Amino acid sequence: MIIDTTYLLRLAGLEIKTDLLRAIDDGKTSISFADVGVSMISLFELQAKVAKLGLPSRLAIDAIYTINNDLRVEPFYTDRIIETAALLSKDFNDYIDCVILSTAIVMKEDLVTEDSKINDRKDMIKEKYEINVFNYCDLVV
Protein backbone atom coordinates (compact mmCIF):
# COMPACT_ATOMS: atom_id res chain seq x y z
CA MET A 1 0.00 0.00 0.00
CA ILE A 2 1.36 3.41 -0.99
CA ILE A 3 0.52 6.30 1.31
CA ASP A 4 0.40 9.95 0.35
CA THR A 5 2.70 12.58 1.83
CA THR A 6 -0.07 13.92 4.09
CA TYR A 7 0.30 10.95 6.41
CA LEU A 8 4.03 11.56 6.85
CA LEU A 9 3.69 15.14 8.08
CA ARG A 10 3.29 14.20 11.74
CA LEU A 11 6.80 12.72 11.61
CA ALA A 12 7.98 16.32 11.10
CA GLY A 13 5.92 17.50 14.07
CA LEU A 14 2.94 18.77 12.09
CA GLU A 15 -0.51 18.04 13.48
CA ILE A 16 -2.84 16.24 11.09
CA LYS A 17 -6.40 15.06 11.68
CA THR A 18 -5.92 12.00 9.51
CA ASP A 19 -2.98 10.51 11.38
CA LEU A 20 -2.77 7.14 9.64
CA LEU A 21 0.61 6.27 11.13
CA ARG A 22 -0.75 6.78 14.66
CA ALA A 23 -3.82 4.67 13.79
CA ILE A 24 -1.53 1.87 12.57
CA ASP A 25 0.59 2.16 15.71
CA ASP A 26 -2.54 2.11 17.91
CA GLY A 27 -3.99 -0.93 16.09
CA LYS A 28 -7.02 1.01 14.79
CA THR A 29 -6.60 -0.42 11.29
CA SER A 30 -5.70 -3.78 9.81
CA ILE A 31 -2.69 -2.22 8.05
CA SER A 32 0.76 -2.91 9.46
CA PHE A 33 3.89 -0.84 8.92
CA ALA A 34 5.24 -3.72 6.81
CA ASP A 35 2.41 -3.00 4.34
CA VAL A 36 3.28 0.69 3.96
CA GLY A 37 5.31 2.15 1.13
CA VAL A 38 5.94 5.74 0.08
CA SER A 39 7.16 7.34 -3.08
CA MET A 40 10.58 8.87 -2.67
CA ILE A 41 9.08 12.12 -3.99
CA SER A 42 7.08 12.32 -0.75
CA LEU A 43 10.35 12.87 1.10
CA PHE A 44 10.98 15.92 -1.07
CA GLU A 45 7.39 17.12 -0.60
CA LEU A 46 7.70 16.77 3.19
CA GLN A 47 10.99 18.67 3.14
CA ALA A 48 9.41 21.44 1.03
CA LYS A 49 6.45 21.71 3.43
CA VAL A 50 8.74 22.11 6.44
CA ALA A 51 10.75 24.80 4.61
CA LYS A 52 7.60 26.61 3.41
CA LEU A 53 6.29 26.79 6.98
CA GLY A 54 9.65 28.12 8.19
CA LEU A 55 10.13 25.23 10.59
CA PRO A 56 13.57 24.03 11.69
CA SER A 57 15.19 21.86 9.02
CA ARG A 58 16.02 19.32 11.73
CA LEU A 59 12.32 18.32 11.71
CA ALA A 60 12.58 17.31 8.05
CA ILE A 61 15.92 15.57 8.60
CA ASP A 62 14.58 13.51 11.50
CA ALA A 63 11.35 12.66 9.64
CA ILE A 64 13.22 11.52 6.54
CA TYR A 65 15.57 9.43 8.66
CA THR A 66 12.55 7.72 10.28
CA ILE A 67 10.85 7.14 6.93
CA ASN A 68 13.97 5.63 5.39
CA ASN A 69 14.45 3.33 8.37
CA ASP A 70 10.86 2.28 9.05
CA LEU A 71 8.98 2.37 5.75
CA ARG A 72 9.53 1.03 2.27
CA VAL A 73 10.61 3.89 0.00
CA GLU A 74 9.97 3.46 -3.73
CA PRO A 75 11.93 5.44 -6.34
CA PHE A 76 9.99 7.90 -8.48
CA TYR A 77 12.35 7.92 -11.43
CA THR A 78 11.77 4.57 -13.11
CA ASP A 79 10.71 4.62 -16.75
CA ARG A 80 7.26 3.19 -16.04
CA ILE A 81 6.53 5.60 -13.19
CA ILE A 82 7.60 8.59 -15.30
CA GLU A 83 5.54 7.44 -18.30
CA THR A 84 2.46 6.72 -16.19
CA ALA A 85 2.78 10.03 -14.31
CA ALA A 86 2.93 11.87 -17.64
CA LEU A 87 -0.32 10.18 -18.72
CA LEU A 88 -1.96 10.98 -15.38
CA SER A 89 -0.95 14.63 -15.65
CA LYS A 90 -3.58 15.00 -18.39
CA ASP A 91 -6.26 14.31 -15.76
CA PHE A 92 -4.65 15.72 -12.59
CA ASN A 93 -2.98 19.12 -12.19
CA ASP A 94 -0.55 18.38 -9.37
CA TYR A 95 2.39 16.51 -10.88
CA ILE A 96 3.68 15.30 -7.51
CA ASP A 97 0.29 13.69 -6.88
CA CYS A 98 0.58 12.11 -10.34
CA VAL A 99 3.95 10.62 -9.38
CA ILE A 100 2.57 9.23 -6.11
CA LEU A 101 -0.48 7.76 -7.87
CA SER A 102 1.76 6.45 -10.65
CA THR A 103 3.96 4.73 -8.07
CA ALA A 104 0.93 2.89 -6.70
CA ILE A 105 -0.23 1.95 -10.20
CA VAL A 106 3.18 0.66 -11.33
CA MET A 107 3.76 -1.20 -8.07
CA LYS A 108 0.19 -2.59 -8.33
CA GLU A 109 -0.53 -1.42 -4.80
CA ASP A 110 -3.51 0.41 -3.36
CA LEU A 111 -3.15 4.11 -2.58
CA VAL A 112 -4.22 5.96 0.55
CA THR A 113 -4.72 9.69 0.05
CA GLU A 114 -6.82 12.58 1.27
CA ASP A 115 -6.57 14.27 -2.14
CA SER A 116 -10.15 15.02 -3.18
CA LYS A 117 -9.41 14.98 -6.93
CA ILE A 118 -7.94 11.49 -6.74
CA ASN A 119 -10.65 10.24 -4.37
CA ASP A 120 -13.35 11.65 -6.66
CA ARG A 121 -11.93 9.53 -9.51
CA LYS A 122 -11.26 6.34 -7.53
CA ASP A 123 -13.81 4.34 -9.53
CA MET A 124 -12.09 5.27 -12.79
CA ILE A 125 -8.69 4.47 -11.26
CA LYS A 126 -9.96 1.09 -10.07
CA GLU A 127 -11.39 0.25 -13.47
CA LYS A 128 -8.47 1.49 -15.56
CA TYR A 129 -5.49 0.60 -13.34
CA GLU A 130 -6.87 -2.15 -11.07
CA ILE A 131 -5.85 -0.53 -7.79
CA ASN A 132 -8.03 0.78 -5.00
CA VAL A 133 -7.90 4.31 -3.66
CA PHE A 134 -8.72 4.79 0.01
CA ASN A 135 -8.74 7.65 2.45
CA TYR A 136 -8.17 7.67 6.19
CA CYS A 137 -11.85 7.14 7.05
CA ASP A 138 -12.02 4.09 4.78
CA LEU A 139 -9.29 2.32 6.76
CA VAL A 140 -9.53 3.41 10.38
CA VAL A 141 -12.15 2.13 12.82
CA atoms within 13 A on the CB side of 56: 5
pTM metric for this prediction: 0.95
Q: For 15-68, write each residue's pLDDT tens digit.
A: 999 999 999 999 999 999 999 999 999 999 999 999 999 999 999 999 999 999
Instruction: State phi, psi for 38 to the nearest 5 degrees.
Output: -135, 150
CATH topology of domain 2-139: Rossmann fold (3.40.50)
**Over the stretch 83-130, which tens digit does the pLDDT of each residue have?**
999 999 999 999 999 999 999 999 999 999 999 999 999 999 999 999
Confidence tier at 141 by pLDDT (50, 70, 90):
confident
Per-residue DSSP letters for 10-49?
GGGT---SS-HHHHHHTT-SS--GGG-EEEHHHHHHHHHH
pLDDT bin (cut points 50, 70, 90) of residue 140 is very high
Residues, the chain: 141
The residues spanned by each domain of the chain are 2-139
